[in-house]
Amino acid sequence: MSDILSRLFYGEIDPFETTAERSPEAAELYEKYKSQRDALEEKLPADLKEDFDKLITTRIDLGVHHAEEAFKEGFRVACQLFFSGMQE
1-48: per-residue pLDDT in tens? 567 778 777 878 776 666 656 678 888 988 999 999 999 999 999 999
Residue pair 36/30 in contact (Cβ under 8 Å)? The answer is no
d(C-alpha 75, C-alpha 86), whole Å: 17
**Count of structural domains within the chain:** 2
Closest by Cα among 47, 20, 19, 46 to 33: 20
Do residue 19 and residue 38 come from a single domain?
yes
Residue pair 37/60 in contact (Cβ under 8 Å)? The answer is no
Do residue 20 and residue 56 come from a single domain?
no
Question: What domain range includes position 9?
Answer: 1-43
- Which position has the higher pLDDT, 23 or 57? 57
pTM above 0.85, yes or no: no
Do residue 31 and residue 11 come from a single domain?
yes
Do residue 37 and residue 53 come from a single domain?
no
